[in-house]
Amino acid sequence: MPQLGLLPGRAWTVLLGLLRPPPGALCIRAVRSHSQVAEALIASQLKPHQEKSNFTIKTPKGTRDLSPQQMVVREKILDVVVSCFKRHGAKGLDTPAFELKDFDIAGQFDPMIPDAECLKIMCEILSGLHLGDFLIKISWKDVRHEMVVKKGLAPEVADRIGDYVQCHGGISLVEQMFQDPRLSQNKQALEGLGDLKLLFEYLTLFGVAEKVSFDLSLARGLDYYTGVIYEAVLLQTPVHAEEEPLNMGSVAAGGRYDGLVGMFDPRGHKVPCVGLSIGVERIFSIVEQRIKTFGEKIRTTETQVFVATPQKNFLQERLKLIAELWDAGIKAELMYKNNPKLLPQLHYCENMGIPLVVIIGEQELKEGVIKLRSVASREEVAIKRENLVAEIQKRLSES
């Protein structure tokens, strides 16, 4: 709860210093409190009667500033995504991508094992984000090329392809196409269907086969895909039971791209690859809209304990107490005033969603205890000073 009161000229100097990263540093917007400090400086220093500045601070094209509430939502999304990647053995790599989080498996491996894991990862992330029901559509680049794109097919085969393009399903549909003599005569198509059958067997073992549907109507617009392609879409629950779930748009996609790395290798060395991309920006927009719709309140801090006092001249005791909490790894804060009134301190905890308050005053200091208050229930108990940290940690672990 910083109190800012700089002179106008100095305010702009500080502001520009915050906005300009040191040489060679990676500039990540809205990290820590820089954006909040800048916003507070501008609001407190630019008065109506003051002269307007001769320059304008603009957000770089293709980016946007995020409020503290938006940052909380975004960090939660990224935490789910990154935690899942690490759970599957991923190594970190930073690139200038703004909108996507990617997971890629490179190397020569047995067919469909890495592909199945990528689809499993996609299911874990979408389930962990609690976005609602979803479906992953998969198809095959070579099957589409040989069966749909390539010219010169006999009319009866083209008609048969049209029937399958309108169909979607699991391994039963793959087996149906596998047994169709008019389709299985094509070698590449037959190999693709064989791999898809193997893929569904692995997906069944991973427990996610019901979330994946083979769909020949799926078309990824990138030429570098060489095998299986997939796309995850959110489904809106229909109003009537007999209706089909509605497609709310793609939130993740990927596929196999065995030839892409070789395009950038001077020696043309080919490295088989399969991967997926999570549409973080689209997911963020969906979650943000739902929060607005349902009026959900977002905590902007992770503070667990607030150090308060009802009396004057207790700043030193509060500072010593909060240092004990910090040293114990407890997230704590206090009001930056020498003699704050108790009621504003308690109101602040309620507004910020801080679960616990420790209160120290003359009586507590004399008896060697600290009052521990639950913000939700407003119940208070006296805890011996030496037992305070352990009691707080116990309550936090139980919450």
- Site of tokens 């304990």: 305
Which of the 8 DSSP states describes residue 54? S
Tell me whether residue 336 is annotated as binding: no
Question: How many Cα atoms within 13 Å fall on the side-chain side of residue 308?
Answer: 22
Tell me whether residue 29 is annotated as binding: no
Determine the Cα–Cα distance for residues 1 and 335; give it in Å rounded to an integer: 6
Q: Are strands 305-308 and 273-279 parallel, antiparallel or unpaired?
A: unpaired
Of 65, 58, 61, 3, the C-alpha closest to 31 is 65
Beta carbons within 8 Å of 310's beta carbon, 6+ residues apart: 342, 359, 361
Q: Are 235 and 247 in contact (CB under 8 A)?
A: yes
Which runs of consecutive H residues, i.e. helices, occur in the chain?
8-19, 34-45, 68-87, 113-128, 141-144, 155-165, 171-179, 181-184, 187-206, 260-264, 280-294, 315-327, 342-352, 362-367, 388-398
Q: Are 338 and 389 in contact (CB under 8 A)?
A: no
Residue 251 phi/psi, 5° resolution?
-125, -5
Of 347, 343, 355, 356, the C-alpha closest to 299 is 355
- Please list, residue by residue across 227-252, b when 16 or more beta carbons sit within 10 angstroms of its beta carbon and e when fewer do: bbbbbbbbeeeeeeeeeeeeeeeebb
Tell me whether residue 160 is annotated as binding: no
Amino acid found at 34 = H
Residue 175 phi/psi, 5° resolution?
-65, -35
- Which residues does the annotation place in the binding site for L-histidine? 220, 224-225
Binding-site residues? 220, 224-225
